[in-house]
Structure 1
């Protein structure tokens, strides 16, 4: 496991064991939510976080692509302008 995804998986496994331990510890008192409910809530929160992160990365990469294509278009326009000036002379 490399980088961020490995750390994320390890963190999620740690949270899972923490929640299971928490549920078993507090199960005797009868208070608390089942672990699957907490895991579902954490999954929803994580999903929202990943959606936001991915969306931001996509916007940045799309903006870079747009800027790159724009510079290519401008260069072509300048080359065409030069050709017209040279052909008039």
Structure 2
């Protein structure tokens, strides 16, 4: 909505400056203005409208991409945590296996 307000106020400012140049009223302004100026003014307004809509669409697309990248990053973090946990479990089982072997080796005299 901010873009539309800025576009509206910009059009009013342009119209005010143009009307300031002419000493006549609004009806004389339309008589004195060449026909192609209406197309230029419409082009400016349309360009501003398209710029704001495309900016909003681009922002939405960027937000989706950022969310997808975030999901990929979170998956990588989960995989890294799972890998670390598996590594700790392997170390724990290896230590437990070594502790079980030591009493048997002492009893057999090795």
- Tell me the TM-score normalized by structure 1: 0.64
In 2, Cα distance between the equivalents of 1:53 and 1:76?
Answer: 35
Secondary structure of 2:31's aligned partner = coil
Q: How does 1:37-48 map to 2 (within 5 A)?
A: 37-48=37-48
Structure 1 outlier segments of 4+, above 6 Å: none
Residue correspondences, number: 60
Q: What are the Cα deviations for residues 7-65 of structure 1, in whole angstroms up to 9, with x where unaligned? A: xxxxxxxxxxxxxxxxxxxxxxx925222100000000000001001100000000000
More helix by proportion, 1 or 2?
2
Aligned to 2:10: none
Aligned to 2:60: 60
In 2, Cα distance between the equivalents of 1:31 and 1:68?
Answer: 56
In 1, Cα distance between the equivalents of 2:80 and 2:43?
Answer: 55
Q: CA RMSD in A?
A: 1.4
Aligned to 1:31: 31
Unaligned runs of 5+ in 1: 1-29
Larger radius of gyration: 2
Unaligned runs of 5+ in 2: 1-29, 90-110
- Tell me the TM-score normalized by structure 2: 0.52
> Which structure carries more relative contact order (alpha carbon 8 Å, separation 6+)?
2
